[in-house]
Chains A and B, each alone.
Chain A
Amino acid sequence: MTATARSPKDTTQAELHLKMLRQMLLIRRFEEKAAEAYALGKIGGFCHLYIGQEAVGVGALTALREDDYVICSYREHGQALIKGISPNAVMAELFGKATGCSKGKGGSMHLFDVNRRFMGGHGIVGGHVPLAAGLGFAIKYKGGDQVCVCFFGEAAVNIGAFHETLNMASVWKLPVIFLCENNRYGMGTAFERVAAVTDIVEHACSYDMAAELVDGMNVLTVYDATRRAIERARKHSHPTLLEVRTYRYMGHSMSDPLHGVYRTKDEVEEQKARDPITHLAGKLKEEGVIDQAALDAMDTEIHAEVEEAVKFADESPDPEPDELFTDVLVD
């Protein structure tokens, strides 16, 4: 099939798929660069990479409107980029620079851009799940039709805040999508070792909530499931629990091993064979939407964009010393 032979609908769809491919690739290359910068000591503290999980953030956020809210855990570089924060501002934040999206005060775990309704990276496992319901409460209180998507890992499901929040979100019918990224390990602990119920989607039954189990290695599946959840939230103000099964290729944080004692190298390699970027690129090549040369060109362009972000971050100034005491309270 050639581009000229496609119907307008197909063309729109092809453009959407290409956009999602580009966004996944941007996250992948951005995170690889962040890993390099971490190794060079340019990034400090904790740094949790999204490599392997790109389809989840891209699929879900592509289904959102600009005025919808997103709130995340500390593994949020990818979602921040897709919500529209520039690679420069995200990388500068990882570098702790004044030009970062949180002025260098937040770092990797606390990316914020209130204008883009990116309501943060939050560092306490499960601690931001009630905040998502609060944003949903505010939307409903003001009579808006926005929704809030809350990303959290499967380990947060063992936290009390998750259960308290799902209960209240269901009782009060809040327009929130609770999107659990089940990457199978809370740091080094396999979920099945610490959870009595391992199908997270089943927790929705306890709270009379709509739920869906989603293949998180397929960006189109994530996109479709999130669209259905958004429809429920936007039109009927009903929350949804999505369990999106995915896999993190890297260690929990940059300072942690890729596999070590808690999972095998073979397992990691096996999962990499299901890579979401390779999967979508293959599909689009088969459909004639993109060829290898165009894919290479896209990759080259993204590389340059990410290189530019590193350069920008590196050359940006540290915050002024008196920034230490600003933003503690508003006047």
Chain B
Amino acid sequence: MATLTYRDALNQALREEMQRDPNVFLMGEEVGVYQGAYKVSRGLLEEFGPQRVVDTPIAELGFAGIGVGAAMGGLRPVIEFMTWNFAVLALDQIVNSAAKMLYMSGGQIPMPIVFRGPNGAALQLSSQHSQAWESWLSHIPGLKVVAPATPADAKGLLKSAIRDNNPVIVLEGEMLYNLKGDVPDSEHIVPIGRADIKREGSDVTLVCHSKTLSVAVKAAEQLAEQNVSAEVLDLRSLRPLDEAAILESVTKTNRAVVVEEGWPHSGIGAQIVDLIQRDAFDELDAPVLRVTQADVPMPYNKVLERAAKASPEKVVAAARRVLYLE
């Protein structure tokens, strides 16, 4: 077991998978000479050369499509977006090409490609650079979507994503890159589609993923001081969703709060609530509540930004409401 940052855990995953399979290559803006906009690809150009660590112009649509074409030609591309805000320019290739190639070719063309990069808000980057895209991306059949919250999950899920023969979206977090955690030394794989209980509890389930794990854990700590035992369920994968894990936890606690970075309308939380009310209706002792970003573009001002984001305090308040403590 080694202690690594989330950034270095991703770097290890890339390095190990590129060593393992010569058809894996990394392409994106600043991934080579600059060593990565967030240094996730540090050292890879030196080790693997410019053919396998490919610096691109700022042309997300074009290089995402070149990645899709390379996968059609038998390679296993890892396409890095400097942020998912810029990847919106490439959605035609992700949605219309990558996600549908296998189906519309009648099963002839698999699409082993990874699209990855930071997602969601950092600090004071304002409206265009502070968006969480998971509900958009996980809406699409033909894609898998993962959102690791810890260094160990980042490494294990990225390795799974690169080995998967389907297009996999890996949502990272700029605010997570410096997060440290234990990462197993040996070959460490986290299967796609499995949630993980990060903290056990019995009174209420806090469902979270990616950056909202730390929000949920802090909320659980505060709730513990109020004699409330909160279970923290980290989804890790958003498509496929580990429905069994969600239902099992809710069956135990009978109450749930879903925490996400995205906006409330048509969000990931809406999908979770749909699942719980449909398949665990009789287990519920209270309506499921959601904590999301405020339904506004992200403001620049620090005070307003804080008010817009999901926070431990908002999660504690929601948990107290489903426990009828308010």
A residues in contact with B135, CB < 8 Å: none
**B108 and A168 contact, CB distance less than 8 A:** no
B166 within 8 A of A: yes
Chain B residues closer than 8 Å to A113, beta-carbon distance? 108
Q: Quick one: given A102-B104, A114-B105, A327-B102, are A138 and B110 in contact (CB under 8 Å)? A: no
Contact yes or no, B106 A105, CB < 8 A: yes
A135 an interface residue at 8 Å Cβ cutoff?
yes
Given A124-B92, A134-B72, A142-B74, A160-B61 contact (CB < 8 Å): yes
Shortest Cβ distance from B101 into A: residue: A120
Q: Which residues of chain B from 77 to 103 have a CB within 8 Å of any chain A CB? A: 92-93, 96-97, 101-103
Q: Is B142 a contact partner of A69 (Cβ separation < 8 A)?
A: no
Is B56 a contact of A131 with CB atoms below 8 Å? no
Residue of A nearest to B105 (CB): A112
Instruction: Flag if A127 contacts B97 (CB, 8 Å).
Output: yes
Report the number of A-B residue pairs with Cβ-Cβ less than 8 Å: 143
Q: Which of A170-194 contact B (CB under 8 A)?
A: 171-172
Cβ 8 A contact of B106, one of A103, A119, A137, A328: A103
Contact stretch, chosen from B63-71, B198-206, B241-249: B63-71
The answer to whether A131 and B96 have CB atoms under 8 Å apart is no
Q: Which of B62, B69, B106 contacts A100 (CB 8 A)?
A: B106
Which B-chain residue is minimally distant from A132 (CB atoms)? B69
Q: Which residue of A lies closest to B65 (CB)?
A: A130
- The answer to whether B62 touches A130 (Cβ under 8 A) is yes
Q: Which of B57, B72, B107, B110 contacts A168 (CB 8 A)?
A: B57
Given contacts A134-B69, A141-B25, A164-B62, contact A105 B74 (CB under 8 A): no
Contact pick for A124, options B96, B141, B142, B165, CB 8 Å: B96
* A106→B105 contact, CB < 8 A: yes
A129 CB within 8 Å of chain B? yes
Contacts of B66 in A (CB 8 A): 130-131, 133-134, 137, 165, 168
CB closest residue in chain A, given B64: A130
A127-B96, A329-B144, A329-B166 known; A137 and B69 CB under 8 Å? yes
B59 within 8 A of A: yes
- Cβ contact within 8 Å between B61 and A112: no
Find A112's partner among B25, B92, B106 (CB 8 Å cutoff): B106
Q: Are A327 and B107 in contact (CB under 8 A)?
A: yes
Q: Of all chain B residues, which has the CB nearest A98?
A: B106
A106-B104, A112-B105, A114-B108 known; A129 and B65 CB under 8 Å?
Answer: yes
Counting chain A CB atoms within 10 Å of each CB, which of B54, B75, B104 scores highest? Answer: B104
Question: Is A139 in contact with chain B by the CB < 8 A criterion?
Answer: yes
Q: Flag if A122 contacts B97 (CB, 8 Å).
A: yes
Structural contact, B74 and A168, CB atoms closer than 8 A: no
Contacting residues, chain A, for B186 (C-beta < 8 A)? none
CB distance from B240 to the nearest CB of A (A): 9
A194-209: CB near B (< 8 Å → 1, else 0) gives: 0000000000000000
Assess A131 versus B107: contact at CB under 8 Å? Given A327-B102, A328-B141.
Answer: no
What A residues does B56 contact at CB under 8 A? 168
Complexed CA–CA distance, A120 and B165 (Å): 19
**Complex partner residue of A328 from B68, B72, B75, B142, CB under 8 angstroms:** B142
- Given A135-B72, A138-B75, does the pair A329, B102 have CB atoms closer than 8 Å? yes
Give the shortest distance, in Å, between A68 (CB) and chain B (any CB): 12
Determine the chain A residues whose CB is within 8 A of the CB of B137 once the complex forms: none
Cβ of B105 and Cβ of A139 under 8 Å apart? no
Chain B residues near A105 (CB, 8 Å)? 103-106
Closest chain B residue, CB of each to CB of A139: B73
Q: B51 on the interface (CB 8 Å rule)?
A: yes
- In the complex with contacts A112-B108, A130-B69, A328-B63 CB distance below 8 A: no
Does A102 lie within 8 Å of B62, measured CB to CB?
Answer: no
Q: Are A161 and B62 in contact, with the CB atoms below 8 A? A: yes
Bound Cα distance from A288 to B6, whole angstroms: 75
Interface centre among B59, B63, B66, B75 (most CB of A within 10 A): B66
B192 → chain A, closest Cβ, in Å? 11
Residue A245 interfacial (CB < 8 Å): no
B109 within 8 A of A: yes
* A130→B105 contact, CB < 8 A: no
Looking at A119, A134, A136, A142, which has the most chain B CB atoms within 10 Å of its CB?
Answer: A134
Residue contact A104 to B106, C-beta cutoff 8 Å: yes
Q: Are A141 and B106 CB-contacts (below 8 A) given A134-B73, A164-B61, A329-B142?
A: no
Q: Which residue of A lies closest to B112 (CB)?
A: A330
Do A119 and B72 form a contact, CB below 8 Å, given A134-B67, A161-B62, A168-B56?
Answer: yes
Check if A138 sits within 8 Å of B103, measured CB to CB: no
A138 close to B74 (CB less than 8 A)? yes
Measured between beta carbons, the chain A residues less than 8 angstroms from B105 are: 102, 105-106, 110, 112, 114, 120, 327
Contact B103 A114 (CB under 8 A): no
Task: Please tell me if the beta carbons of A167 and B57 are within 8 angstroms of each other in the complex.
Answer: yes
Residues of B within 8 A of A114 (CB): 105, 108-109
A33 to B107, CA, bound (A): 28
Q: Which residues of chain B come closer than 8 Å to A103, judged between CB atoms? A: 106-107
List, sorted by A's number, 30 A–B pairs whose CB atoms are closer than 8 Å: A101-B106, A102-B105, A103-B106, A112-B105, A114-B109, A124-B96, A130-B62, A130-B64, A130-B65, A130-B69, A134-B69, A134-B73, A135-B73, A136-B69, A137-B70, A137-B73, A138-B70, A138-B73, A138-B75, A141-B51, A142-B73, A142-B74, A161-B62, A161-B65, A167-B59, A167-B62, A168-B57, A328-B103, A328-B142, A329-B102
Show the binding face of A for B, using Cβ within 8 Å: 69, 71, 100-106, 110, 112-114, 119-120, 122-124, 127-139, 141-142, 160-161, 164-165, 167-168, 171-172, 326-330
